[in-house]
Amino acid sequence: MIVKMSAHATATEVDAIEAKLRDLGYGVGKMIGSQVTLLGVYGDIFKLPQDDIAQMPGVERLIPISRAYKRAAQKGDALNPIHSPVSIGPVTVGGDELTVIAGPCSVESESQIMESARMVKEAGAKCLRGGVVKYRSSPYSGWEGLGSDDQDSLRRGLELIVKAGNAFEMPTVVEILDPTDVPVYEDSGVACLQVGEPNSKNQALLNRLRDTPLPVIHKRGNSLDTEAYLLWVERVMALGKENVILCERGIASCNKYTRNTLDLGSVAAFHYQLSGLPVAVDASHGTGVRDLVFPLSLAGIVSGASVVLVEAHPNPLIAKSDGFQGLFPEQLRGLVRAAEEVWRTRRTNEREYVTTAALERDYEGRMQDDRKRFFGES
């Protein structure tokens, strides 16, 4: 919320508003222009007695700036942002620990997903991923996943990945395409539902996911700007669901070299400014280039992600989907090791991160003196 003072407001009136807001527990940032003064109000705006403030002498009007996506938005204030963790089975995501979720693009057979689970566990990742129904652009690809025929095949496919996850004590993350399949996923023992990029704004699916107790990883559509994406995420959360994880997996751009353009600026914006939800980075789909998955996953952690979602296969050269971007087991091991180190470094260096809100007040207090020193203004 911004309190806009009238052009004739006196310094005493501005001070009175500031004092009142601070008394009420709000943070205040002041912008003194040549014509008007604006007061930025930080805190829980829903509790602000807006009418009382609006009627105080010198106030022209209150300008709301709270975000349209209220539940997905960052809670707390600019100085004390709150990041809420989400549980994927026994694994806490978005807390103090980094979470690597790894596995093949698709579940292809019992032995393939079992070997994949072993590979993921041995690499040190915490959750197993794998698609049982695949969303394919081409109707002629010949592979839409083990579970694509009907709900029975879906059930059997989900059983395979849950069995593999249980065998290696890892919760599982599986993409869901159809809202009518939610009970099948819930009954299967899958720990987390993934909304894939093509369904990022599938209204029927997102509405249905409001009711599931399972956590949801909601991937960003490749042509959704940050605000539109967070509004689609808000749709899942609109009735009170809280266990949602954001995922940046690349957006459309002029770049032809990589499959998508991993938008690391948005990863930082989601984590540091816009949202309190955990942020995942998926450099597999974000680059579509196996040898770029390592550097871009690490860059995602530095940028603000606490979850790395990554495709890997016991032999990606024979994978039925996305093999070109799937890591070899050795590469997955290296990535998990490096990711943990980068995570520790980020957490240490975050102590050096000072927000503008923390400094603004001091510098506002110096504006008159500094103008005099630098520009000779009185």
222: CB partners within 8 A, 6+ apart = 197, 249, 250, 251, 252, 260
Whether the Cβ atoms of residue 170 and residue 123 lie closer than 8 Å to each other? no
Q: Which of ligand PEP, Mn ion, none does residue 249 bind to, with CB < 5 to 8 Å depending on kind?
A: ligand PEP
Nearer to Mn ion, 43 or 316 (CB): 316
Q: Is-contact 104 313, C-beta < 8 A?
A: yes
For 306, list phi and psi in degrees, rounded to 5: -115, 5
149 phi, psi to nearest 5 deg: -75, -50
Q: Is 108 in the site for ligand PEP (CB under 6 A)?
A: no
Nearer to ligand PEP, 181 or 197 (CB): 197
Sequence-ordered alpha helix ranges (H) in 32-109: 50-54
E strand or H helix at 373: helix 367-375
Regarding 196 and contact with ligand PEP (CB under 6 A), the answer is: yes
Residue 29 interacting partner from Mn ion, ligand PEP, none (CB closer than 5 to 8 Å by kind): none
Q: Which is nearer to ligand PEP, 58 or 326 (by Cβ)?
A: 326
**Least Å distance between CB 300 and ligand PEP?**
14
Q: Which is nearer to ligand PEP, 126 or 249 (CB)?
A: 249
Binding residue count for Mn ion, defined by CB under 5 A = 2
Kindly compute the dihedral angle of the four CA atoms of residues 208, 211, 213, 214, in this order, to the nearest 10 degrees: 10
Near Mn ion by CB under 5 A: residue from 322, 327, 329, 336: 322
Q: Pick between residue 201 and residue 285 the one whose CB is nearest to ligand PEP.
A: 285
The whole-angstrom separation of Cα 214 and Cα 186 is 7
What x/- string results for residues 87 through 116 when contact with Mn ion is judged by CB under 5 A? ------------------x-----------
At its nearest, how many Å lie between ligand PEP and the CB of residue 131? 5
Q: Which of residues 152-171 bind ligand PEP (CB under 6 A)?
A: none
356: burial class by Cβ within 10 Å (0-12, 13-18, 19+)? exposed
User: Which one among 71, 201, 218, 219 touches ligand PEP, defined by CB under 6 A?
Assistant: 219
Q: Which does 313 bind (CB under 5 to 8 A by kind): ligand PEP, Mn ion, none?
A: none
Distances (CA, A) of 11 to 5, 15, 17, 32, 355: 10, 6, 10, 10, 27
> Under the criterion CB under 6 A, does residue 285 sit at the interface with ligand PEP?
yes
- Which of ligand PEP, Mn ion, none is residue 145 near (CB under 5 to 8 Å by kind)? none
CB of 247 to ligand PEP, least distance (A): 7
Token reading at 27: 């943070």
Q: Does 329 bind ligand PEP (CB under 6 A)?
A: no
Residues touching ligand PEP, count (CB under 6 A)? 8
Q: With respect to ligand PEP, which residue has the nearer C-beta, 27 or 103?
A: 103
Return d(Cα 180, Cα 45) in angstroms, integer: 38
- Residue sitting closest to ligand PEP (CB): 196
Instruction: Give CA separation, 114 vs 110, 122, 131, 338, 358, in Å.
Output: 6, 12, 14, 25, 50
* DSSP string computed for 257-288: SSSSB--HHHHHHIIIIIBSS-EEE-HHHHH-
Shorter beta-carbon distance to Mn ion: residue 40 or 326: 326
Q: CA angle 324-328-333, nearest 5°?
A: 140
Q: Round to whole Å and give the CA distance between 117 and 167.
A: 8
Q: Which of 30, 126, 218, 249 binds ligand PEP (CB under 6 A)?
A: 249
Q: Provide, rounded to whole angstroms, the least separation between the CB of residue 175 and ligand PEP.
A: 6
- Binding residues (CB under 6 A) for ligand PEP: these are 105, 131, 175, 196-197, 219, 249, 285
- Binding residues (CB under 5 A) for Mn ion: these are 105, 322
